[in-house]
Structure 1
Amino acid sequence: MAYYIGVMSGTSMDGVDAILTDITDTSIAPIAAVSIPYPAELLELLHQLCTVSPNEINHLGQADRAVGRVFAEAVNKLLAEQHLSPADIRAIGSHGQTVRHYPDGPPGHQDDNGFTLQIGDPNTISSLTGIDVVADFRRKDIAYGGQGAPLVPAFHAARFAEAGEHRAIVNIGGFANITVLEGVDAGATRGFDTGPGNTLMDAWCLQHLNQPFDRDGNWAASGTVNQPLLNSLLADPYFSGTGPKSTGREYFNLVWLRHHLHDMGTSIAPEDVQATLLALTATTIANAIRALEQVKQCYVCGGGAFNGELMTQLGELLPDCTVKATDSLALHPQWVEGVAFAWLAWAYLHRVPGNVPNVTGASRAVVLGSLTLAD
C-alpha cells in the first residue's frame, strides 16, 4: 500500500475535500474522504481576492496561511477517522485555492507574463500535518507555454481510459472541463474548459434566493429558458474558440451576465434567468461532445453530477451518447478531483509528467509541482 491524500477546493469554494487514496504503478484506489466548509470570514476574504480590491497583498498573505490551515484540518480529520498516522501517508497533493487565472495575461495586458495563482501555504499544511506536501501544480505548465489548466486529463487517462472505448469525462465544478479519451493511448488525450459549470448558477441563486446553490436544479426547472438571452450568451467568442483554452470567474461572472441582460432591453424573471444559465452549461458541454463524433460515453463528475435537472438536459441534448455519473466507473463524482491531486503528488514523486500538451498547449510534457518537506 502507498497512501496519498489529495486536497481540493474548486472555484465554487463550497468546501475543502480531502481524499485518501492508495496509488501504485498499476492501480488508483480511493479509500475514504472528508469535506469541511471554509469559515465564513475566510470565505468572504477569498471572494474579495477574486476581484481587484485594496490591500490585496495583505489579504493574500493572510488568506494563504488561513487556507493552508483549513486544508491541514481536513487532512488531520481524515487521518483521525481512518486511524492513520502521518507516517502512513507518502505525500499530500494540494491543489490550493485559485484566486486568479490569467494564463494569457490580464485584460489589456496580454503578453508572455500570464499567470495563475493558487493559495494555501504548503509550509503551513506540512507543519500542521507532519506530512510532505506537493503543491503549485499549475505554474510549471504555464512556464512551458501552457494554460495551466485543465490538469485532470492526465489523471482521467490513467484512471478511466479503456481499450476500444471513446469516452468523455466531464468535470462540472464552478467551471466545466472535458477530457476526451480515445482508448488507452494517453498521447491522444484531448481536453479543454467548455465554459461555466455551476459558477453563474450559484452566484445568481445566492443573489436572488440567498442560497449558495440551486439544489438539484429545482429553481432552474421552475423557470423557462429565455432563448434570446441564451443565444446572446452562446455568442460569446470563448465558446467558438478551439482549444487549448481555459477560463475562470475573472471572465464568466455576474458582471458578464448583467451585460447580456442589459442588452436584452427587457426584464427577465429571475427563475427564467436561472433556467437559461443551466441551459448554457448543458448546451456548451453538449456542443463540445457532439463535435467528437466517435464519443458515445459521457461520464460526469463534480458538483454538477448531483444536479438532476442538469443531468437530464445533458441526456436530452446527447441522445446518441450514454450520460452517467462517474460512480458507474467506481469513482464517486465528488471524489474525482481530490483523487486527481493525490495522483499528481504520486506522479511528482515518480517523475511522471502531469500535464497533457494537447490539452494545455504547453510545449512539452513536464513533471508538475513543488515539494515541501515536513521536516
Structure 2
Amino acid sequence: MSAHALYLGLISGTSVDGIDAAIVRFDDDDGACRATLRFGCTYPWDAALRARLVALGQQAAALTLDDLGELDTRIADGFADAARRALADAGLAASEISAIGSHGQTLRHRPQGRAGDGVDGFTLQLGDPSRIAERTGITTVADFRRRDVAAGGHGAPLLPGLHAALLHAPGEDRAVLNLGGIGNLTLLPGDGGAVRGFDTGPANGLMDAWCLRHTGAAFDRDGALAAQGRPDAALLERLRAEPWFSLPPPKSSGRDQFHLDWVEAALRGGETPADVQATLLALSVTTIADALRASQPATARLIACGGGVHNGALMRALADALPGVVVESSAAHGLDPDYVEAMGFAWLARRTLLGLPGNLPTVTGAAGPRVLGGIYPA
C-alpha cells in the first residue's frame, strides 16, 4: 500500500447536524503520520430523516424491525451521496480514493449495558457499508466501535491515537477537546507518558436540542440564546449531580443518556428558555473543566475541535474556567476544527487496511489493541 494515499472519512455525530466528509492525504515515509486535509465539507441530511434520527436520539420513539432495516438503508444512502458529492466537489475520481472510512450514525451507545439487566454492553451504528461500497465504487471500512466493545472497552473515544500522532508536543502537557454533541478529551502528557482519553458529557448536544425546541434553530449561533439568560445555579447543581459525571475513566456516553427528557426531569417550572440554555452551556463548561483539572492538572494547552469551536460564548467560558491554560482552536495547528473527526475515520480506515490497531486500551479500557472494523470491497 502506498505511503502517499487519499482516504475519505465520513461521520455524522451525536448532534446529527450533517454528514462531515473529509478527503485526507497521508504521508508517512519516515514512520511519522502526516495527514493533510485535501477537501472537507458538511452535507445536509434529508430534513425528515434528520428529524427522525434526532427523535430516536431523544428516546422519543421505538423502532420495528422494518424501521431498523429502512433506516440502515436510508442512512447508507445519505453517506454514499455525501461521498459522491465530496468527490465531485474536490474534482476527484473514485479510483483515486484508497478507501472510505464510514462511522455511520449512532442510534444507541451502551457499552456497559443497562444497569441491573445483566446483559453485556453494545454500541449500534447504522449505515449499511455494503451499500456505500456499491454506490460509490470505493472499498468501505466501517463498524469501528464494536470490536473494542467486544474486547471489554467502551468503543470510544477512538480518535486519541490520531490526536497523539498529530498534536503531541514533547515537554508540554496538552489536551485535545472534541466539542461535538458529546465532549471528549484526549490527554497528551509532555513527558511521553500514556495517552488517555474519555468522554466528559454534554458539549453541544443538549444546547442544540434545547435551542431547536424553543427557537426552531438547529443550534445556538455564537451562544446568542444563552447570552440572553443567566445560569440557574440550583438547576446546574441538579444536573451536575448526575452520577455518570463522577465515574472514573474509561467512560463514554451519548445522546441516549443526555437528552431533553433528562433535562426536563431537573426543571422545577418557571425557568425561561434562555436561562436553561445558559445553564446548559455552564454544564458543558464546568464538567469539561473539572474533568481536565482532575485528570491532567498541569495541562498548558487545550486544543479544541468540533462544531463547538464556532460558539464564541462557549470558547470564552472555557478559557475563563481554565486560567493559565491556553484555549485555542485546532486551526492554530493547521487542522480545520470542523473536519478533525472525519479525518479520524479516514485514518482509522487506513489503519484497518494496514492491519494496525485503531484503539488505545489506555483510553477505551479494552483488553488490548485491536484492528477495528470490517472491510467491504468495492
TM-score by length of 2: 0.95
Match of 1:19 in 2: 22
Give the 3 Å change call, closer, same or farther, for CA 64–39 of structure 1 in structure 2.
same
Residues 241-276 of structure 1: CA deviation (Å, up to 9, x unaligned): 1100001112111111111113xxx52111111000
Q: Distance in 2 between matches of 1:66 and 1:178?
A: 32
Match of 1:227 in 2: 233
3-state secondary structure, aligned to 2:267: helix
Contact preservation (8 Å) 2:56, 2:62: no
Match of 1:102 in 2: 110
Q: Distance in 2 between matches of 1:178 and 1:48?
A: 27
Q: Distance in 2 between matches of 1:122 and 1:182?
A: 36
Contact preservation (8 Å) 1:20, 1:33: yes
The CA deviation at 1:204 is 0.9
Match of 1:30 in 2: 37
Report the residue type matching 1:246 in the other structure: S
Report the residue type matching 1:267 in the other structure: G
The alignment status of 1:7 with 2:10, answered yes or no, reads: yes
Residues 86-143 of structure 1: CA deviation (Å, up to 9, x unaligned): 11110000010000111111344243x2100001111111111100000000000001
Question: Structure 1 residue runs of 4+, over 4 Å off?
Answer: none
Q: Distance in 2 between matches of 1:306 and 1:269?
A: 24
Report % sequence identity.
47
Contact preservation (8 Å) 2:103, 2:345: yes
Match of 2:129 in 1: 122
Report the residue type matching 2:90 in the other structure: Q
Contact preservation (8 Å) 1:16, 1:36: yes
TM-score by length of 1: 0.95
The CA deviation at 1:184 is 7.7
3-state secondary structure, aligned to 1:188: coil
Matches within 5 A, 1:224-373: 224-262=230-268, 266-291=269-294, 292-373=296-377
Report the residue type matching 1:114 in the other structure: G
Matches within 5 A, 1:128-143: 128-143=135-150
Contact preservation (8 Å) 2:174, 2:188: yes
Report the residue type matching 1:116 in the other structure: T
The CA deviation at 1:319 is 0.9
Contact preservation (8 Å) 1:146, 1:363: yes
* 1:154 alignment partner, one of 161, 165, 168: 161
Contact preservation (8 Å) 1:45, 1:59: no
Match of 1:85 in 2: 93
The alignment covers a number of residue pairs equal to 369
Contact preservation (8 Å) 1:49, 1:60: no
* 1:71 alignment partner, one of 66, 74, 79: 79
The CA deviation at 1:54 is 4.5
Q: Distance in 2 between matches of 1:109 and 1:60?
A: 23
Match of 1:175 in 2: 182
Q: Provide the alpha-carbon RMSD of the alignment.
A: 1.4
Residues 314-367 of structure 1: CA deviation (Å, up to 9, x unaligned): 000011100001000100110100000000011111122111111111010111
Residues 293-322 of structure 1: CA deviation (Å, up to 9, x unaligned): 221100111111110000000000011100
Q: Distance in 2 between matches of 1:180 and 1:159?
A: 13
Contact preservation (8 Å) 2:319, 2:325: yes
Q: Distance in 2 between matches of 1:214 and 1:52?
A: 22
Q: Distance in 2 between matches of 1:206 and 1:49?
A: 15
Structure 1: runs of 5 or more not aligned? none
* 2:201 alignment partner, one of 169, 182, 195: 195
Contact preservation (8 Å) 1:104, 1:110: no
Structure 2: runs of 5 or more not aligned? none
Deviates more, 1:328-337 or 1:27-36: 27-36
Contact preservation (8 Å) 1:23, 1:346: no
Deviates more, 1:236-245 or 1:90-99: 236-245
Match of 1:41 in 2: 48
Residues 227-251 of structure 1: CA deviation (Å, up to 9, x unaligned): 1111111111111111000011121
